[in-house]
Structures are given as C-alpha cells and as structure tokens.
Amino acid sequence: MANQDFMVYNTLTKQKEVFKPKLPGKVGMYICGVTAYDFSHIGHARAYVAFDVLYRYLQYLGYEVNYVRNFTDVDDKIIRRANELGEDPLKLSGRFCQEFLDDMNDLQCLPPTHQPRVSDHMDEIRDMISQIIRKDCAYSVEGDVYFAVDKFPAYGRLSGRKTEDNRAGERIAVDSRKRNPADFALWKASKPGEPSWDSPWGPGRPGWHIECSAMSARYLTSSFDIHGGGMDLIFPHHENEYAQSCAACSDSNISYWMHNGFVTENNEKMSKSLGNFFTIRDITKRYHPLALRYFLMSTHYRSPVNYSISQLEIASDSVYYTYQALFDSEKALSTFREQQSAKGGKNAKAERLTSEAQNCIKKLHTDFQIKMSDDLHTNDILNGALLETLRLMNKSLESLKKKKQQQPSQFHSLIALEQEVREVMNILGLLSSSTYSEVLQQLKDRALKRAGLTEEDVVSLIEERVQARKNREYEKSDQIRLDLSAKGIALMDLSNETIWRPCVPVEQEHLVEPVTTHVLQNKLVPPVSKCVEQEQPAGPVSPLVQLEQPVEPVGPVSPLVQPEQPVEPV
C-alpha cells in the first residue's frame, strides 16, 4: 500500500475526497458501458482507458476490485440500425459488443470482473421497476412506466439542476401523460417491429437508465464505492440512476461518482452530427494502440483532451522512445547477465547502484505515489519522472559503450532503472505483452503506412543517399533526408550504416540542423504536451424537461432536457 491517502474527485460533493472503501480491502466499481450499435470511438477510448487506469491503480494499492461494466444491447439506436441492415437487433449488438472488446484489448484495458448485458437482466430490471412503483415513486400509463421526480426530493443533487426551474412547454413538446415534464421512462410499451419482453405493465422494454441501477444492484448490491462514466452522463443518466436506485432501496449508497472529460477537436466537442469524431479503429490503423493510450493519458482524466494529429504523433514518438530505451537496455544487459550466470551467481551480491540511479529511482517511485494518489495525474508522471528515468537509462547506455565505464554498479543501476520503469508502465497499462522489438516493429510499420512508403522504399532511398554522398552530391543527399523526415522517417548515420526510426514529421522550414545529430546524441526527446487541468464546471440551472426523443450529446452547461437514449460519452 502507498503511504499517501488516495484522493479522488467526487462529482456528488464537487471536491476531492480521501478514498475509503465501504469494506476494508475491497472495492465495488460500476462504469457505464457502450451502446453496441456501431464501432466505438475515441470518446469511448478515453472513458475506458481512464477507468482502466483507476482499476489498475486500485489493484496496485492492494484492493480486490469488483469491476462491472455493462453493455446496452437493447436500445432505439440498435433497433434502428438493425432495421436498416435487416439484421436481428440482438445479433447486431452482439457483433458490436465483440468489436468493442477487441478495441479494449488493443488499448490494453483489462477485462472487467463482470460485463452484464441488458437482455440478460430483464428480471432484475422488472423487479426494480416494481419496487419503485411500490415505493410510490413511479406510475404506469398505457404500458409505459415513468419515474415521478416530484416524489424524490433529492432529484438534481448529483448534477446540480433544480426542478423548480422547470418551465414545461417552453419550445419543447412534452408528453402530456407525464405528471411532470422531468419524469423519465423506466419501461416503454412495445411498438410494432421492436423486440419486447413481457411485464406487469404490458409487453415492452426498459428505458435506458434503469438498466444500470438494476445491474449495479445485481453485481455490487445497492451500496458500493465508485460509479463512473463520461461527464455527459452526469445528466440525465446518472441523475436518473441515482434517483431510481435510492427510490428502489433506501439503503442505496454510492460513495464516489467519477466522470472523465470530453474529447474535443480544435476545442470543439466531438460529435457524430458535426462529423468530427473518429472511431478507435480509424486511429489504430495509423497509430499504435499504445500511442493512442499514451495520448489519452497525457491529459488529466477530468480535463478535455484536444484531439490532434500532432499530439498523436508526439505520443507515438514517446512510446517509440520508451520502447527503444527498454530494448537497448535489454540488449546491453544480456551479455552482462550471461557473464553473471556463467560465474554461477557467485558474485551475485547486491551491488551498490550509482547515486544518480538511486536518486532517479527514488524520484520516480515517490512522484508516482504522489501524482497517482492525487486523483490519478498520469500526465505528470509521463511527462515528468518517467521521462527523466528513460533519459538516464539512455545516458547510462551511452557510457556503457566505453569499456572502462563497464562497472558492475553501472550494469546493476541499469537493471534497477529498467525494473522501475517496467513497474510504472505496467500499472499504467503501457507495458505490452509483446517483446520490445515487436512493439518497435509495429510502431515502424504504422509509421511507414502514414508515410505512404514500404520498408523497401526507405532502404532504397537510404542507398540512393549513400551513393549521392559518395558522389559529393550533398544537396541531393540532404534533400532525401529532409523529404523523409517530413514524412515522419528519421535517418540515423551510424559508424558503418544508416538506419531509420519513426519521428514526428518535421516541417522542412523548421529543420535548422540535421535530425540525425539529435538522434545520435539521444536528444530526440519527445516534446512535452501542455496539460491543463480544469475543474469540472458547476452544474447549470435550467429547465428539467425530459424528452422522449434523442438529442445530440451536450456539454455540462446545456438546457436540462432529458434524452431517453444513451448519449455518446465523447
């Protein structure tokens, strides 16, 4: 266990609080999952990477975590898409659940303990609706069941919205059968051509919000530690869940509500209607999934992430830099390790590390504890102590190239540095199960794809450049190098050969001195992205009208209109 208290920002209390689980050593955590009707996009990647980091960190702290993440597999959007494709809705959603799981696997998000689907939990959902009706907090009308917000005085507590600000009928068509326009559907009467399930109120299907209340109660009981999701789920989804769960069970108590920030592009929120969103697949075809993960973790989870190709390039370069340092260390240490084992481990006594390595390891360890325990500041670790440790590893590797520097303490220092880096990367989910060289090759393959070149193309350009230099055609040889670096391919002249590695594409006018010089001196350090943490805006005060029609996902300062459809956590 770490020495620091683990502080988390709680949307309910709007402050950072010390994390204290309800049961010692155990954590129950429910994260709202995807509506499976299409490929998942970068907003999903952002949410599930953020909560994967939380899951991994809680486990690192020694907690046994029961992590539940649902699949919405019954929903208007799924039915609409299935009708368009002439496919069974559950078959379509089943297909996209699997695509989502493949994306999560690529992004190194650990599988949750339970991944319940709505269609498998109709009994729990119907039972909870019956309970809410019994408690007089819901009413049925012509086969629909609505939650009565007036019967739940704490309604609006999570989002900070107020029912008295409700101005029903103002420019918004309200279902006249609702007692209050803010009332929302728990059960929807079936319409022709839709999948339906029997219920005491007639055939139909659940409203969107009730599934999470029912499934969290099923796997975590009504009282658990963490409920999370994208910031756009605070209202109406989580506000409604909070109301349903408390109405159904007076003991219901969720300690911490955690929400991740949006993904923006040019500081505008991404959305399908604006056409400025990307699927995870779109991105991972061109960038390594670890680069996407690294990019998302380079900003604090509650701040908006501004999506840009240049930031993805920087993240990709950082991942390459990291794996290159690990690969070089492994190579440099392999001979040393062989020699040690040939000696039969006789000299295996603990060697003193260099003071530089000792300080660096201590700093990485301490910074990791401090930054992670402060509401998961992954960004500060990546751009700070981890980067410094990698730089020291590269510096040690350089000095180990000289015979007289090859002291056992130098080797042992490198071993210790590598171990510490691996541990931190493992907790952050950045350590691949592939070998270092495999990851480097995967990064190179994608760099070639982005450059529109093949390995053979690059090799023949290198040969062309060698020939040009032999012929003293320096302008030509320089141009080859410049053209390649503009495409994200950096050439490195070693003593007897020229090799290449991916780089952030260099704009030619910015090239003052050859890239190769930087690379050779191990100075090709990834630029540090600027990360600005922003506190979550306070909840707005606006009308509490609930629409039956889906509206576009909106930011936290929008009117209080309740879509019955899942909105995209982008």
**Is position 125 an interface residue for Zn ion (rule: CB under 5 A)?**
no
Considering only residues 200 to 239 of the shown chain, the ones binding Zn ion according to CB under 5 A are: 212
Secondary structure (3-state) at 445: helix
Secondary structure letter of residue 225 according to DSSP: E
Nearer to Zn ion, 32 or 283 (CB): 32
Taking each helix axis from N to C end, the angle separating 289-297 and 309-342, rounded to the nearest 10 degrees, works out to 110
Closer to Zn ion by CB, 50 or 212: give it: 212
515: helix, strand or coil: helix
Contact range with Zn ion by CB under 5 A, out of 30-38, 151-159, 215-223, 548-556:
30-38
Q: Give the count of beta carbons closer than 10 Å to the beta carbon of residue 204.
A: 21
d(CA 375, CA 226): 13
Q: How many residues bind Zn ion (CB under 5 A)?
A: 2
Residues 405-424 that bind Zn ion (CB under 5 A): none
Instruction: Map residues 165-184 to x or -, x wherever contact with Zn ion holds by CB under 5 A.
Output: --------------------
* Cβ 124 vs Cβ 43: under 8 Å: no
Q: Which is nearer to Zn ion, 32 or 312 (CB)?
A: 32
Distance of alpha carbon 269 from alpha carbon 231, whole angstroms: 12
Q: How far is the CB of 72 from Zn ion (least distance, A)?
A: 8
Q: What number of other Cβ atoms are within 10 A of residue 18's Cβ?
A: 10
Nearer to Zn ion, 35 or 299 (CB): 35
User: What's the Cα-to-Cα distance from 488 to each of 262, 310, 311, 398, 414, rounded to whole Å?
Assistant: 29, 11, 14, 25, 30
Token representation of residue 292: 């996407």
Q: Would you tell me how many other CB atoms lie within 10 Å of the CB of residue 30?
A: 28
Closest CB to Zn ion among residues 32, 504: 32
At its nearest, how many Å lie between Zn ion and the CB of residue 238?
7
| Only segment of 32-40, 138-146, 189-197, 257-265 that touches Zn ion (CB under 5 A) | 32-40
Q: How far is the CB of 501 from Zn ion (least distance, A)?
A: 43
Min CB(249)–Zn ion separation in Å: 17
SS3 at position 184: strand
Q: Which is nearer to Zn ion, 212 or 547 (CB)?
A: 212
Cβ proximity to Zn ion: between 233 and 414 the closer is 233
CB of 243 to Zn ion, least distance (A): 13
Distances (CA, A) of 83 to 6, 91, 183, 493: 48, 12, 29, 59
Q: Given the complex with Zn ion, which of 253 and 437 has the nearer CB atom?
A: 253
List 8, 27, 31, 32, residue binding Zn ion (CB under 5 A): 32
Least spacing, CB of residue 364 vs Zn ion, in Å: 37
Residue with Cβ nearer Zn ion (109 or 212): 212
Mask: binding to Zn ion, 247-266, rule CB under 5 A, as x and -?
--------------------
Q: 520 CB contacts (<8 Å, ≥6 apart)? A: 492, 493, 494
The H or E element that residue 97 is part of is: helix 89-106
Q: Report, in Å, the least distance between residue 32 CB and Zn ion.
A: 3
Task: Using the minimum distance from each CB to Zn ion, give the nearer residue, 57 or 208.
Answer: 208
Q: Least CB distance from residue 186 to Zn ion, whole Å? A: 14
3-state helix, strand, coil in the chain (%, to 5): 45, 15, 40
Question: Minimum distance between the CB of residue 237 and Zn ion, rounded to whole angstroms?
Answer: 5
Burial readout 360-396 (b: 16 or more C-beta within 10 A, e: otherwise): bbeebbebbebbbbbbbbbbbbbbbbbbebbbbbbeb
CB atoms within 10 A of CB 221: 14
CB 539, min distance to Zn ion, A:
18
CA distance 454 to 532: 38
- Site residues (CB under 5 A) for Zn ion? 32, 212
